[in-house]
Amino acid sequence: EDKVVQSPLSLVVHEGDTVTLNCSYEVTNFRSLLWYKQEKKAPTFLFMLTSSGIEKKSGRLSSILDKKELFSILNITATQTGDSAVYLCAVTFGDNFNKFYFGSGTKLNVKP
Amino acid sequence: DGGITQSPKYLFRKEGQNVTLSCEQNLNHDAMYWYRQDPGQGLRLIYYSQIVNDFQKGDIAEGYSVSREKKESFPLTVTSAQKNPTAFYLCASTDRGRGAFFGQGTRLTVV
């Protein structure tokens, strides 16, 4: 059965802390893994990862994919209250990129 | 500007009624998806379509129906068979495995 699993389900930290969010997957014909941030409505795109071991960075956020161990991590350094959101991991897979599954998300709460 | 438009933003349904949620994209994307999100939950796949006149069930298709008569449009009907339809519904489209574009969502409430 194809699945995408995120951990932890929720996390509470204080401003300035560093957090690591995890996403593991078991799918057939993996194509790419994507990270999204969802605050109130539609998720906003953060990263797309297709190759193992290549870190992608955007400001205080970074992400890396391990295709051998079938997981990805999303790191946020020097967290701010504006980072509070649900972080979603999604995987595209299938013979024709035709499947796009999300994990359950990690709810991050950054306290002042 | 290209994007995905979902309508309406809020929808109220009486028990036993069918309602249709609209999703239109002008991105020329082949694949379109419908997800359901419940409070505190992730996105669960209802239906997806890779090409016109073809669609497949996702994990929670029971009580829902879709059509894909045009590349730009992928409407979702929530039927009376869906026993717990109150949720946030998101439509998305992708182009050959690249990042998905999302609509702003429709919040459906059964009254």
Yes or no, beta carbons of B31 and A105 under 8 Å apart: no
Instruction: Name beta bridge partners: A58.
Output: A61
How close does chain A come to B57, measured CA to CA in Å? 11
Tell me the residues of chain A between 30 and 89 that have a Cβ less than 8 Å away from chain B: 31-32, 34, 41-43, 45, 48, 86, 88
Q: So what's the pLDDT on residue B105?
A: 93
- Which tens digits make up the pLDDT trace of B5-25? 999 999 998 888 999 999 999
The CA distance from B30 to B71, in Å, is: 7
Q: Do A42 and B35 touch (CB under 8 A)?
A: no
pLDDT higher than threshold 60 for residue A67? yes
- Kind of pairing, strands A19-26 and A71-76? antiparallel
Can you tell me the distance from the alpha carbon of B20 to that of B84, in angstroms, rounded to the nearest whole number? 15
Provide the pLDDT for residue A98: 66
Q: Name residue, tokens 């109220």.
A: B12
- Report the range out of A26-35, A80-89, B90-99 with the highest average pLDDT: A80-89
